[in-house]
């Protein structure tokens, strides 16, 4: 069984990043004070912002037999053996993770490992994980 779950995306967070990047340039745009250096800077910011947007929009979680695979844009994380997952719970942590939303869940696995994810359909995601490993302590539906 292979099942893919796209990540939920907080467009407010993406908008905030956009404003942080481009907000300081608004006075120059209004006053017409753009020069070649400013345009080059806008180009670099646009490439970086496009990369960040790609990470946000192309994050997905795949359950492939007994493995949980996490892909964040161009980056793939080491697959997690679902039999090693101990607990799944809601979290408000803002730690950097492959979760482009504030609606996040934390997966604890192995001895001390954890990853924070944000599947769009977290209930079915957790349900599919617990079907494979019924020993998972599910704190999402509690």
pLDDT of residue 100: 92
Q: Give the per-residue pLDDT at 71.
A: 96
Q: What is the pLDDT of residue 36?
A: 81
Element (H, E) at 2: strand 2-6
1-142 has which CATH code? 2.30.29.30
Instruction: Say what the pTM is.
Output: 0.86
| Rounded-to-10 torsion of CA 30, 36, 37, 40 | 100
Query: What is the spatial distance between Cα 122 and Cα 105, in angstroms, rounded to a whole number?
Result: 8
What integer pLDDT is reported at residue 142 of this predicted model? 63
Measured CA to CA, the distance from residue 49 to residue 80 in angstroms comes to: 29
pLDDT at 69: 97
Tens digit of each residue's pLDDT, the chain (142 residues): 799 999 999 999 999 999 999 998 888 888 887 788 888 888 999 999 999 999 999 999 999 999 999 999 999 999 999 999 999 999 988 888 888 998 999 999 999 999 999 999 999 999 999 999 999 999 987 6
Residue 117 has a pLDDT of 96
């Amino acid at each position: 069984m292979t099942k893919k779950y796209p990540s939920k995306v907080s467009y407010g967070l993406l908008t905030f990043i956009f404003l942080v990047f481009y907000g300081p340039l608004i006075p120059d745009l209004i006053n017409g004070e753009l020069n070649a250096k400013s345009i080059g800077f806008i180009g670099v910011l646009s490439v970086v912002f496009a990369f960040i947007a790609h990470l946000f929009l192309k994050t997905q979680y795949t359950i492939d037999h007994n493995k949980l695979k996490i892909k964040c844009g161009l980056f793939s994380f080491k697959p997690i053996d679902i039999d090693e997952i101990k607990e799944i719970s809601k979290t408000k942590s803002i730690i950097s993770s492959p979760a482009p939303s504030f609606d996040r869940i934390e997966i604890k696995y192995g001895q001390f490992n954890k990853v924070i994810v944000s599947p769009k359909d977290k209930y079915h995601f957790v349900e599919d994980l617990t079907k494979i490993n019924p020993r998972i302590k599910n704190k999402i539906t509690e």
